Amino acid sequence: MAPVATIDDVRERIMAELPLLACWFEPFPFDDLLPRIEPGRVAIPAEEPGVARRRHTVGIELPVRFRGLTLGRFVLIPSATTCGVSLSASARSRAIDLAAGVGVALAASWT
């Protein structure tokens, strides 16, 4: 996988890959919990003290990590209501790879 230069580059590539109305990056920590795209699945978050869980969520989280550490996330707003399961598995996998490239770039620039 080639390194990705900017968050905006990846955001545009994710928008081209998935049927989305909007997509943006949020640095960690987060104010709310969203369904999360993970390799091979979509995880529905458990309740956490002090963190709001959206009851009628329209967003999906695509984590940006480096060596297992969450640095941020892309918030994906799909064009049709879904928790992410209706997005194709191959498109979700490509989006995860794109987010991984951002994690490497962020870690390099933050250290």
Helix, strand or coil, per DSSP, at residue 41:
strand
d(CA 73, CA 31): 12
What number of helices (H) and strands (E) belong to the chain?
2, 7
Q: What is the pLDDT of residue 53?
A: 59
pLDDT tens for the chain, 111 residues: list them: 444 458 999 999 999 999 999 999 999 998 888 999 999 998 887 776 766 655 556 799 999 999 999 999 999 999 887 777 778 899 999 999 999 989 988 888 877
Query: How confident is the model at residue 4, as a pLDDT?
Result: 46
The pair of structure tokens assigned to 110 is: 């933050």
Question: What is this structure's pTM?
Answer: 0.84
